[in-house]
Amino acid sequence: MASGGARWGAGRPAQRLKAENATSLDVNYLSRNGHLDEGNWKRLYWRQYGEVRMEGLIKAFDRHITIDIGSTTHWLYLTRTPCHLGGYRRWFICPKCQNRMAVLYLRNRCFGCRRCQKISYQSQSGDAEDRMVWKYHTLSDKVFNWKFKKAARFNRTYDKFLDVADQFEDLVERGLQRIAMADGGYDATAIGTT
């Protein structure tokens, strides 16, 4: 662990933290790098300015993952929703509010969504992104649970959903580029961290 590690999560809980400076965990990044495949144990390194700031060991189970950071084991539950292009998309369940979330933040030694952790964005676009993800969830729930698919209203809702889903996919791509995480690869011998 790098020196200065004790500073993380320090500060008054009410103090707002900028998302750009927070330790985040992106479900799409983890999914693409095999961190969520059941049975995998993989290390994850959080880097800032090229230096490893923190590391964790992620163990993947059927419906949850555990992350060992230092001497703490965090449990995070996962869920999935169908994707309009086939397959499905995975989400974290925020341990605090139980909502589906793509990104969780570590603060005061707990993971939670941006809202629960009182984390703000440096730019205004972050709030717009949140609204878009919310819209995506609402529309995908409607589309995939629709009972009368032939109704004209379904087609209109579905068109709207496809539109939002496209923007959502763009957002995921951009999000992945933004995340300063590097994959340490499979490390079966690394049990626990020091």
Q: How far is the CB of 153 from Zn ion (least distance, A)?
A: 31
Map the footprint of Zn ion across residues 7-26, applying CB under 5 A.
none
Interaxial angle between packed helices 152-178 and 125-144, expressed in degrees from 0 to 180 and rounded to the nearest 10: 140
Distance of CA 161 to the CA centre of its chain: 21
Burial class (CB in 10 A: 0-12, 13-18, 19+), 44: buried
Q: How far is the CB of 146 from Zn ion (least distance, A)?
A: 27
* Region near Zn ion per CB under 5 A, out of 5-13, 15-23, 33-41, 107-115: 107-115
Using CA atoms, how far residue 76 sits from 14, 18, 67, 131, 169, in Å, is: 23, 22, 8, 23, 23
In the shown chain, the binding pattern of residues 25 to 64 toward Zn ion, with x for contact by CB under 5 A and - for none, equals ----------------------------------------
Q: How far is the CB of 99 from Zn ion (least distance, A)?
A: 6
On whether the CB atoms of residues 58 and 45 are closer than 8 A, the answer is no
Q: How far is the CB of 134 from Zn ion (least distance, A)?
A: 13
* Region near Zn ion per CB under 5 A, out of 8-16, 34-42, 108-116, 121-129: 108-116
56 versus 112: smaller Cβ distance to Zn ion: 112
On whether the CB atoms of residues 117 and 17 are closer than 8 A, the answer is yes
Map the footprint of Zn ion across residues 110-169, applying CB under 5 A.
112-113, 116
Q: How far is the CB of 68 from Zn ion (least distance, A)?
A: 22
Map the footprint of Zn ion across residues 71-100, applying CB under 5 A.
94, 96-97
Distance of CA 121 to the CA centre of its chain: 16
Angle at 25 between CA 107 and CA 97, to 5 degrees: 60
Report the interface residues with Zn ion, using CB under 5 A: 94, 96-97, 112-113, 116
